[in-house]
Chain A
Amino acid sequence: MKEKRGTASIILTCVFVLISIVYVMPIVEVAVNSFKANAYVNTDTFALPNSESFVGFANYAKGMTFGNYPFLKSVFYSFYITIVSTALILLCTSMAAWYIARVGSKFSQIFYYLCVFSMIVPFQMVMYTLAGTADTLRLNTPWSIPIVYLGFGAGLAIFMFVGFIKGLPLEIEEAAAIDGCGPLVTFFNVVLAMLKPTMVSVGILEIMWVWNDYLLPYLVLDRTEYMTIPIHIQYLKGSYGSVDLGATMAIIMLSILPIIVLYLFCQKYIIKGVAAGAVKG
């Protein structure tokens, strides 16, 4: 079926190689500048580090404590909030979605339509009142903020899960019921196994969202004590008179590295998951 690749195709490949190089340049520039002294980031942004401007890992060392807040603390909170929120969303919304898909009561229908509705509401609409509510209910710590993420992120997750569960054959669950499985056993031993592909898609979407989210944790968390990586970076750049660009680039590099590594290892799932969310959203 495949045609032989002609000269036009070779030229096209070369063009794409060039575009790809331009495409990754911004990230390469961040990496390069993270090894340069602050003054040189500003004056020779695109020069490679030379003996004068090269500072080794000094920027990374400086970035760790830069801005009177240990960067590793932000990293820890970012990881913690992302992992716990995603796990909580996956568990709770898949269970709720099964209930909605299998119990056709008025309640489950209304809840479902509210979830769909919540997907189109921009965050600015609820941010002020949400921050106030979270504060009153003491959801303003990294330990409790996953509940806020579950609430605000439930819409998309439930929508995707319900859509998938409705396509699953009921006979399997009936068989499990006849064999004497209670709903909990049926859900965890039978339904969950069938939900795996959607779990991966929803999980990736939620990880990307929570890890990169800036405004929600910024408004909800008690900022004097807790920061996440995006808040930390904004804090360094936004509120410091003379910004140490070298150290900032080092921190940016550290913050995108986990994502890029994750992407290189499971890009197939990530692309599929993100595309699935797009088509439905």
Chain B
Amino acid sequence: MKKTKKKPDAAALNSVLVRRPIQRCFPIFIFPTFVAFMIGFLYPFLKGIYLSFCTFTTPRDAQFIGFSNYVKAFGDASFVHAFGFTALFTVVSVVAINVFAFAIAYLLTQNIAGANLFRTVFFMPNLIGGIVLGYIWSMIFDGVLRYYDTYLLAKTSYGFWGLLILMCWQQIGYMMIIYIAGLQGIPEDMMEAAKIDGANKWQSLWRITIPNVMPSVTICVFLTLTNSFKLFDQNLALTGGMPTAFQEGGEIINTTEMLALNIYKTFYTGANTRGMAQAKAVMFFILVAVFALAQLKATRTKEVQQ
């Protein structure tokens, strides 16, 4: 039975003893999930791609029009603005979250009393849903800004920094957990060797700790990147895209609207723009897919090096 000893799963696939009976139970084991997957993902996905080339108000009256939805989407000032806002927010939040999360993780692994308790506290906001988070913080920001006779929705910059604080509060704990796992994986003798060689704390941080947690850094950077880029619930609940502003062309745009929210609003604030909304969604998907592929490549190269 086990002549081939190439890989463990090559052996697994060769075991007729196990494979055949399972294969006979196809309808029980895999069919229900497959049907649900077709309904919940595959069909909507393919139809979504098709509809992005159509004009429609409901999926039934779709008419093929080629690329004009994409052309319209590029000319949509609110979409372009949302892209810029999202890109800026993503860059700032990736840096902020990772720097803070790494600093906290580093300090918590320095043999501190109560480290577990602090870890529990920092992780907690992660469990609260985006909608609820948005309303908690909108209350707090409005409470603080009231001292300065203003409010959260008064300015675009308030919304931006508010969203950043919210995301930091939510995500730092999560990234901290990943960094702590990475830091604890560093062999202790390496640290001791550095100490014997006379390295001070600062040197061993830069020369040993950081190079050794690079895999964790890759994971965290990509996680924060996609989380920020795809942000929806928090954006909707905290500002909902407010305040509005007039563009030069006379168009009204929501200045704190991110891509996901912009796509949502294009779909549901009128039936005429749905084709364009679906085209925006396809482009959004392609951008997210590019990030994912970049991550895959980055992790692969890391694995080769080690």
Contact = CB atoms under 8 A, between A and B. Distances in A.
A19 B122 CA distance: 9
Contact of A30 (B17, B113, B139, B219): B139
A148 interface: yes
B36 A16 contact: no
A29 B19 contact: no
A194 B169 CA distance: 36
A15 to B, nearest CB: 8
A214 B124 contact: no
Interface string B157-177: 000000000000100001001
A150 B39 CA distance: 10
A103 interface: yes
Contacts of A267: 120, 123
Nearest to B141: A45
B131 A234 contact: yes
B59 interface: yes
A70 to B, nearest CB: 19
Interface string B32-51: 11101111111111011001
Nearest to A13: B113
A39 interface: no
Given A125-B48, A233-B131, A152 B41 contact: yes
Interface in A169-189: 170, 173-174, 177-178, 182-184, 186-187
Interface string A269-281: 0110011001101
Query: Which applies to chain A's interface (DSSP): helix, strand, loop or mixed?
Result: helix
Nearest to A20: B121
Given A102-B12, A133-B43, A151-B41, A111 B30 contact: yes
B284 interface: yes
B111 interface: yes
B277 A26 contact: no
Contacts of A174: 15, 17-18
Interface residues of A, number: 107
Contacts, number: 294
Contacts of B181: 275
Interface stretch (A51-59, A195-203, A254-262): A254-262
Interface in A116-138: 118, 120-130, 132-134, 137
A241 interface: no
B23 interface: yes
A37 B257 CA distance: 32
Interface string A155-167: 1001000000011
Contacts of B186: none
28 contacts: A26-B136, A26-B137, A26-B169, A30-B139, A45-B142, A45-B144, A99-B22, A99-B25, A111-B30, A118-B37, A121-B288, A124-B232, A125-B282, A128-B274, A128-B277, A132-B44, A132-B59, A134-B39, A137-B39, A147-B36, A173-B18, A177-B17, A212-B128, A214-B131, A214-B236, A215-B232, A230-B131, A230-B132
Given A96-B34, A118-B37, A263-B127, 20 more contacts: A9-B112, A16-B112, A17-B114, A46-B143, A100-B30, A102-B15, A121-B41, A122-B230, A124-B263, A127-B267, A129-B43, A132-B58, A137-B39, A151-B40, A155-B41, A170-B8, A213-B129, A271-B177, A274-B126, A274-B177
